[in-house]
Amino acid sequence: MERQLTLTVNGTRYDVPGVEPRLLLSDLLRDTLGLTGTHVGCEHGVCGACTILMNGDSVRACLTLAVQADGADITTVEGLGSPEQLSELQRQFREHHGLQCGFCTPGMLITGEDLLRKYPLASDEEIREGLSGNLCRCTGYQNIVAAIRAAAAIRRETST
């Protein structure tokens, strides 16, 4: 019972024929569309590496069926910025050395974008709570928290 999907990823419309219902959205993005910026770690919603934005909300791509993304507007890490023009949050990750091996980074960035949009992030405790669903084995989280703290401060300045 294969299906035809239409979805928008990072502003580009894709018509994808022959999608099996059991295909995960993470595998559609990586294997079918070739967007390998979204990383697959645990495949059961624990590590957060595959987090993407679906219709503006962060979701686990490994806990979403590709067929559920029919008609959706999706942003992956490739859609946040480019090497020439990083997003503000990406710039702060670079400034604060918020990544080492880079495996968790796409999920951290997408989660950070959603957190910045939805929460005041006035304290480090709040930032750490917000990041608690994303695992990083390199940084000890300190520099990731610092990057998001800086991005939240910039957002506060620009909104006043």
Per-residue binder mask for another protein (CB under 8 A), 71-110, x = binder: ----------------------------------------
Q: Which of 5, 29, 38, 60 binds another protein (CB under 8 A)?
A: 60
Residue range at the interface with another protein (CB under 8 A); choices 39-47, 89-97, 139-147, 149-157: 39-47
Q: Does 137 bind another protein (CB under 8 A)?
A: no
Q: Which of 28, 67, 116, 147 binds another protein (CB under 8 A)?
A: 67
Q: Does 44 bind another protein (CB under 8 A)?
A: yes
Per-residue binder mask for another protein (CB under 8 A), 105-134, x = binder: ------x--xx--x---------xxx-xxx
Of 71 and 94, CB closest to another protein:
71
Between the CA of residue 132 and those of 43, 111, 137, what are the distances in Å?
A: 17, 10, 13
Of 31 and 94, CB closest to another protein:
31
